[in-house]
Amino acid sequence: MCCKTGRAVTLLPEDLHSDDGGSTSDAADCAAGWDEGGPVWTGQYCRAGQLARLVSGQRLQLEPEVRRVTNIGRLRLTQLVCGMLNTGEGGSVYYGVTREGRISGLQVDRRSRDCLRLGLDKTLSDRLVPPPPPDCCRLEFVPVLGRRQPLTEYRPAEHSLFVVAVHCRPAPREVFVVRDTGAAYLRGPGPDGRAANLELTIPQLRHLVAEREMALASRRETALRSAADCLRRMASRAAPSCDVCGGLLPAPKQAEQPRPAADPVRRWPCDSDSSGLEMG
């Protein structure tokens, strides 16, 4: 099942359709799952012309205008990533998928794939303030086979047609700003009601920062309360607590043990009057 609002949970084989209307069992080898980093392809490949029910939404953006890998704009990608990170939920950007969700793919050779991997980390670290963590975003290349290309003809080392996906992990503690434009972006409904990347005004940015700070303070307060409760339970094993204020009552004083009587002083028989000896 794939949610058409863009919150993809799972892209199952039945969500992929071939153009000839026949069975998709042979063509639907491309499936996507969902982990904390975004949708990932759990199959080995997909086929050109298949219809994947992917629709741009809050956590998913299709870029059908990009027909070549060299046309992937760094500023545009940075703005999209900024908007998804600022939602606190993350998301994914897909290249090589049409507006209707049909698989087309981009020509990407091995050298271009290596350059994209290196360029993504450098672009985001240089253009986003503050720089996101190194593992915050990752690239994925999904091989696209011909509609009737036998699987036996697939050579991973020589293949060059891929769906390119950029997956962003949630970053709920930070508010990111694009250095080039000096603006922050957020995913939300556009003028036509569809999800879009919106530039925040100064009041909106202040409101977002205040929300993040309040949420962070609330999480810290919850953690402190949990730690205090844990310490209170540990201490209650040794001393009872007050039913009114919850504070610890002082431990009762232990009754002093009587000291043992001192041993009588030993005397020599000559010092005792009962010796019967008279001193003269």
pLDDT of 84-109, one tens digit each?
A: 999 888 899 999 999 888 899 999 98
- Tell whether 110 is covered by a domain: yes
CA dihedral 180, 183, 188, 193 (to 10 degrees): -80
Please indicate, yes or no, whether residues 213 and 94 belong to a single structural domain of this protein.
no
Total of domains in the chain: 2
- Tell whether 27 is covered by a domain: yes
For residue 221, give its domain range: 201-234
Predicted confidence (pLDDT) per residue in 214-266, tens digit: 877 777 778 888 888 887 777 766 555 566 565 555 555 666 666 666 555 55
For 99-125, give one letter per residue: b (16+ CB within 10 A) or e.
eebbbbbbebeeebbeebeeebbebbe
What is the pLDDT confidence band of residue 166, given thresholds at 50, 70 and 90? very high
- Tell whether 275 is covered by a domain: no
Q: What is the pLDDT of residue 227?
A: 82
Calculate what percentage of the chain has a pLDDT beyond 90.
Answer: 18
Q: What is the pLDDT of residue 31?
A: 36
Please indicate, yes or no, whether residues 54 and 136 belong to a single structural domain of this protein.
yes
Predicted confidence (pLDDT) per residue in 122-141, tens digit: 889 999 999 988 888 999 99
Please indicate, yes or no, whether residues 147 and 80 belong to a single structural domain of this protein.
yes
- Tell whether 56 is covered by a domain: yes
Greater model confidence, 38 or 157: 157
Please indicate, yes or no, whether residues 209 and 130 belong to a single structural domain of this protein.
no
- Tell whether 143 is covered by a domain: yes
Predicted confidence (pLDDT) per residue in 66-90, tens digit: 988 888 989 999 999 999 999 888 8
- Tell whether 263 is covered by a domain: no
With tokens 């094993």, the residue in question is 237
Please indicate, yes or no, whether residues 128 and 207 belong to a single structural domain of this protein.
no
- Tell whether 149 is covered by a domain: yes
What is the pLDDT confidence band of residue 276, given thresholds at 50, 70 and 90? very low
Cα 166 off chain centre by: 15
* pTM of the entire predicted model: 0.64
Please indicate, yes or no, whether residues 223 and 125 belong to a single structural domain of this protein.
no
| CA distances (Å), origin 239, targets 36, 93, 246, 253 | 44, 58, 12, 12
33 vs 12: CA distance, rounded Å? 8
Please indicate, yes or no, whether residues 186 and 207 belong to a single structural domain of this protein.
no
What is the pLDDT confidence band of residue 21, given thresholds at 50, 70 and 90? very low
Rg (C-alpha) for the chain, rounded Å, is 36
Q: What is the pLDDT of residue 37?
A: 35
Handedness of CA 43, 45, 49, 52 (dihedral sign): positive
- On average, the pLDDT of the chain sits at 74
Q: What is the pLDDT of residue 20?
A: 40
Please indicate, yes or no, whether residues 159 and 185 belong to a single structural domain of this protein.
yes
Q: What is the three-class DSSP state of 117?
A: helix
Q: What is the pLDDT of residue 271?
A: 52
125 vs 254: CA distance, rounded Å? 64
Q: What is the pLDDT of residue 43?
A: 53
Calculate what percentage of the chain has a pLDDT beyond 70.
Answer: 68
- For the domain that residue 52 is a member of, what is the CATH number? 3.30.950
What is the pLDDT confidence band of residue 146, given thresholds at 50, 70 and 90? confident
- Residue spans of beta strands (DSSP E) within 75-174: 91-95, 106-107, 128-129, 137-145, 161-168
Type of residue at 29: D
- Tell whether 152 is covered by a domain: yes
Count other C-beta atoms under 10 Å from residue 260's C-beta.
Answer: 6
